[in-house]
């Protein structure tokens, strides 16, 4: 399997994540698209780890999962807090940082 196939697959997933981030107005969906982009990068790291037969890249994937988990916990807490204040997760309403 040529390495390019994995490059193009993760590029496609990353671009879909960017399109979703730009298209949607729901803050939670935008957050999920960011997770999708993180996963695309992880996939590429694993492919290169297999290509160079080196396990450091897989450790990097492990750490990026750790950071993603922490990020989701804090980000969802922020979204819940904003929802309590303005009763919406629409980013066009959340764009003021102050109410």
Partner 1 sequence: MNAYELIFWLLTVMAISCALGVILSRNPVSSVLFLIATFFAVSGHYILMNAQFLAIVNIIVYAGAIMVLFLFVIMLMNLNADTEPQKNRLVQLAGVVSGGILFLVILAALKSSTNNMLEQTATDIGLIKNLGKTLFTQFVLPFEIASVLFLSAMIGAVVLGKKGEEGTA
- What does the binding site for partner 1 look like in residue numbers (CB under 8 A)? 1-9, 11-13, 15-26, 28-29, 31-33, 35-36, 39, 42-43, 46-47, 49-51, 53-56, 58-59, 61-63, 65-74, 76-81, 83-84, 89-90, 92
Q: How far is the CB of 60 from partner 1 (least distance, A)?
A: 9
3-state secondary structure of 92: coil
Q: How far is the CB of 58 from partner 1 (least distance, A)?
A: 6
Q: Which two tokens stand for residue 9?
A: 């697959």
**Contact (CB, 8 A) for 19 and 63:** no
**Contact (CB, 8 A) for 42 and 65:** yes
């Amino acid at each position: 399997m040529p390495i390019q196939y994995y490059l193009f697959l993760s590029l496609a997933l990353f671009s879909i994540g960017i399109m979703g981030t730009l298209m949607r107005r729901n803050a939670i969906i935008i957050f999920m698209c960011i997770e999708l982009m993180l996963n695309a990068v992880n996939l590429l790291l694993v492919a290169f780890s297999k290509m160079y037969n080196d396990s450091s890249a897989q450790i990097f994937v492990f750490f990026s999962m750790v950071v993603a988990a922490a990020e989701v916990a804090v980000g969802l807490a922020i979204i819940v807090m904003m929802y309590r204040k303005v009763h919406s997760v629409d980013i066009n309403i959340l764009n003021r940082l102050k109410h």
